Structure 1
Amino acid sequence: MKKIYLIIGALVLALALLIGASVLIDKQLEKDSSFISDHIDFDKTAQNVLYTSPSASSSSSSLDMEVTEKVAHIDDVSKISEEHEVINTDIGQIKIDAGLSEEEWGDRISMGINAQNINAANIECKGLFYYDNMEPELKQLYLEIYIAIKNYTDAFYICSIDPEDIDYAFNCVMGDHPEIFYTNGYMYTKYTTTDRIVKIEFTPAYTIAYEDVLKYQKDIDAYKNAFLTGINPNTDDYTKIKYTYEFIIMNTEYDVDSVENQNILSVFLFGRSVCQGYAKAFQYLSAQLGIQSTLVVGYVGANEGHAWNMVKCNGQYYYIDCTWGDSSYLENSMSQYSGGINYDYLNITTSELQLTHVIDNFTPLPPCNSSMDNYYVKEGLYFEGIDLVQLDNAFANAKSQGRDSVELKCANSDVYDRLGEYLLEENHIFDYMSNDKESIKYMQNRDLNIYSFPLR
């Protein structure tokens, strides 16, 4: 008697509690939502072992930056000047809403807020998603924060006197720059008169001593160089993105207790991280290949904080979630059949992402509507009907590449059901297996219409 073992990829997080439910029934899967059937016996039987998506409750990601506010009152405003040296830059004349003395204005210039650094920072930040999409009048504020943190500046009087604008600009900087691994927030001091804010002193919150930052950077560079040796820098966008996705997953273990897990150090130095570490590592490495990638935050499951990426591939935006692509994040014993990498979250659309993720970003994001560079489409594993030649090629290619499994994605639920009927109910799946195969185990993801068949 040949057997088919089914691992259902439900991607319904609440069902995680039902793992292990078992009942013996005849010839069909029980559809009653009160339990999950675990075993079915008939000719060429199917064993149904529930596979759930990773539990959000295992994530320890803290996505909010630490911000501390202090207030100081100013009695003597006689030294405050509204007129200062005119400094022209590529983004326009440096403007300042704060009321500063000439000495305070000079301190800003001394610490690096000058035309040369503003122009250089503007060039560095062009092409970064949040910088490119923020209001032009806030770009100077962004660049001041970026220059200060990059130079490891202790404290300075910032151009803005609006705490909300400062918070927005800081989040944009951190969202664009995964290489800033030594800051997790900031403190600001408001200097006020009886009726208004006169100036704000901005102080980055550094978590690592400067000498250690320099030491860690050497380790980061070594990791980056090892990464770059494995790919041709002139290859296409999709290949670069797929390579980066695979490299991070194969070299990182999901670990809620990992150190520095909110930044790239956790991945590059220690090989263990959580979602934000994965996402920032992907953002950092893909940038080395000229790929624009953006950190995105939101929720999964029961409002658990989560981070992933939006990436631009051949001019179109897609979502990527390296954490959910890592089988070490899966919480059941059957994850080894995925070969270590789950490609379901490689270049997906907004509608596909929203089946399992809630976007709660600090700034709006463009819709991701294209499927042209989705993993399954690019690899010839996307089925719009029952195509026997395509099925033959899918299994043959996977075997020739030495893969552990073959995944098939269907265009919609109707195709998904028809493919399942053909392969499973009619037992044609054995046509693609070795002749001595008496049983198979497979996974299915009903949310994304995907089947996965292990080949070993």
Structure 2
Amino acid sequence: MAVTYYYDHMTKPKQAAYRSMLAGLTELSDSFQLPLLDAKELSEVFLLLRLDHPELFWASGFHFLHYQDSPNLIMKPEYLFDKSKVREHQKAMASRVEKLARPAKTLSEWEKEKYIHDFICENIRYDKLKKAYSHEIIGPLGQGVGVCEGIAKAVKVLCDALGIWCMIAICGNNPEKEIKYRHTWNIVRIDGQYYHLDATFDNSLGKCSVTGEEIRYDYFNLDDKNIFRDHEPLIAPAPACTNGDHFYYKEKKLSFTKQEDVKKRALQAAKKGRLLTFHWRGGYLTKQVLEELLEQISEAGKERGKIPHVSLNWSQAVLRIRYTEEPAPELEPDVNMEEANEGEQE
């Protein structure tokens, strides 16, 4: 099941150009005709086509020609590799996707989504050099490296293979916030409801956390209200995500509204020496509320003779606690402020 959300929301002329582009790129043509569009429209169709069809990993750019009075353009695509190499990579990618999808075929939709998310977080390293192939599925699935675009495309290809409705969301940059690049992630449909899934942001938290290499789920099935706390507005159409029922921490009963529940679970974590990652939804996570939560977490540690080390994703109100045995119970908890973004990864 390959979802073509962007095609479905295009005008008729753009859809016609999209179909011609898809055919030409699939056939690895050196040039092909398109209906007449202006340069901006053509670039938009080329971008959205490759988000709908991330399996077209070899298409990296294009030039076009227009002869006066002609109703058509001639498009000359640019490919990442020569044609024989593209075909080799096609076979390798098809085999890789099939192999990865096979163990998850019988899982529920939510379990399939988690399987894909965990594969990304456990196996893909962020490519700080931002090589061209890291923007395509061949980076994450072939080389084990990627940037947000390549990771979102890999998620979609695996979702398509497992029959999960999935599209790639894209937002703009924001120089005022020192956000230099557009960011991409996924929107999935689970049990009939739409949710945001940002495996890149979760990957950044898992790799950077002082608590080690544990997988994070701070961006697993967020609604619109929560994702846009630290994501820029979308620059292309997408379905509304209004339901938060399948948010990971809520699903796992790790989303708390009462401070006494935080204290109770913190005591268990301190006793057993386990990490505790939880989401706070008992109102806004203000500085005062945070101080109160840290007091509960510290008290739990003192009762077990341990010191808490806390990682905080303030935007999403997610805290991770690790207790250690230290001979200074009067110390304040060690709080590490985390900010999920693709550039923070090691």
TM-score tier after normalising by the smaller chain length: 0.7 to 0.9
1:408 equivalent to 2:276? Answer: no
1:254 equivalent to 2:130? Answer: no
- Distance of aligned partners of 1:258 and 1:418 in 2 relative to their CA distance in 1, 3 Å threshold: closer
- Distance of aligned partners of 1:183 and 1:455 in 2 relative to their CA distance in 1, 3 Å threshold: farther
2:292 to 406, 421, 424: 421
Residue 226 of structure 2 is matched in structure 1 by 352
- The structure with higher relative contact order (CA 8 Å, sep 6+) is 1
1:179 to 30, 33, 55: 55
Q: Contact 1:275–1:307 (CA<8 Å) still a contact in 2?
A: yes
Q: Contact 2:266–2:297 (CA<8 Å) still a contact in 1?
A: no
Q: Contact 2:277–2:318 (CA<8 Å) still a contact in 1?
A: no
CA distance in 1 between counterparts of 2:112 and 2:283 reads 28
Structure 1 residue 284: Cα displacement:
1.2
CA distance in 1 between counterparts of 2:260 and 2:137 reads 43
Q: Which runs of 5+ in 1 are unaligned?
A: 1-123
Q: Contact 2:266–2:300 (CA<8 Å) still a contact in 1?
A: no
Residue 273 of structure 1 is matched in structure 2 by 146
2:15 to 115, 128, 139: 139
Structure 1 residue 448: Cα displacement:
1.8
Structure 1 residue 165: Cα displacement:
4.1
| Per-residue CA distance 1:209-255 (angstroms, 9 max, x = gap) | 12111211233234323422442x23322221121111011101112
Q: Mapping of 1:427-446 within 5 angstroms?
A: 427-430=298-301, 435=304, 437-446=305-314
- Distance of aligned partners of 1:257 and 1:245 in 2 relative to their CA distance in 1, 3 Å threshold: same
- The one-letter code matched in structure 2 to 1:407 is F
Q: Contact 1:254–1:328 (CA<8 Å) still a contact in 2?
A: no
Residue 78 of structure 1 is matched in structure 2 by none
CA distance in 2 between counterparts of 1:149 and 1:169 reads 13
Structure 1 residue 349: Cα displacement:
2.0
2:169 to 284, 291, 296: 296
| Per-residue CA distance 1:252-274 (angstroms, 9 max, x = gap) | 11121254111111111211222
CA distance in 2 between counterparts of 1:365 and 1:307 reads 12
2:216 to 334, 339, 342: 342
- Distance of aligned partners of 1:408 and 1:166 in 2 relative to their CA distance in 1, 3 Å threshold: closer
Task: Name the SS of the counterpart of 2:74 in structure 1.
Answer: strand
CA distance in 2 between counterparts of 1:391 and 1:408 reads 13
1:449 to 301, 312, 317: 317
CA distance in 1 between counterparts of 2:118 and 2:270 reads 16
CA distance in 2 between counterparts of 1:287 and 1:395 reads 42
Q: Mapping of 1:380-399 within 5 angstroms?
A: 380-386=253-259, 388=261, 392=264
- Distance of aligned partners of 1:409 and 1:289 in 2 relative to their CA distance in 1, 3 Å threshold: farther
Residue 192 of structure 1 is matched in structure 2 by 68
CA distance in 2 between counterparts of 1:246 and 1:183 reads 28
1:319 equivalent to 2:172? Answer: no
1:155 equivalent to 2:31? Answer: yes
| Paired-residue identity, % | 24
The answer to which structure has the higher helix fraction is 2
CA distance in 2 between counterparts of 1:144 and 1:399 reads 63
Task: Name the SS of the counterpart of 2:163 in structure 1.
Answer: coil
Per the normalisation by structure 1, the TM-score is: 0.62
- The one-letter code matched in structure 2 to 1:448 is Q
| Per-residue CA distance 1:30-50 (angstroms, 9 max, x = gap) | xxxxxxxxxxxxxxxxxxxxx
CA distance in 2 between counterparts of 1:274 and 1:399 reads 39
- The one-letter code matched in structure 2 to 1:266 is G
Q: Mapping of 1:7-406 within 5 angstroms?
A: 127-136=3-12, 138-193=14-69, 197-231=70-104, 233-257=105-129, 259=131, 260-298=133-171, 299=173, 301-305=177-181, 306-327=183-204, 335-337=209-211, 339-361=213-235, 363-386=236-259, 388=261, 392=264, 404-406=275-277
CA-atom RMSD, angstroms? 3.2
* Pairs aligned (count): 319
- Distance of aligned partners of 1:191 and 1:410 in 2 relative to their CA distance in 1, 3 Å threshold: same
Per the normalisation by structure 2, the TM-score is: 0.80
Q: Contact 2:160–2:166 (CA<8 Å) still a contact in 1?
A: yes
- The one-letter code matched in structure 2 to 1:166 is L
Q: Which runs of 5+ in 2 are unaligned?
A: 325-346
CA distance in 2 between counterparts of 1:248 and 1:180 reads 20
Q: Contact 2:64–2:74 (CA<8 Å) still a contact in 1?
A: yes
The more displaced of 405-414 and 197-206 is: 405-414
Residue 113 of structure 1 is matched in structure 2 by none
CA distance in 2 between counterparts of 1:312 and 1:394 reads 33
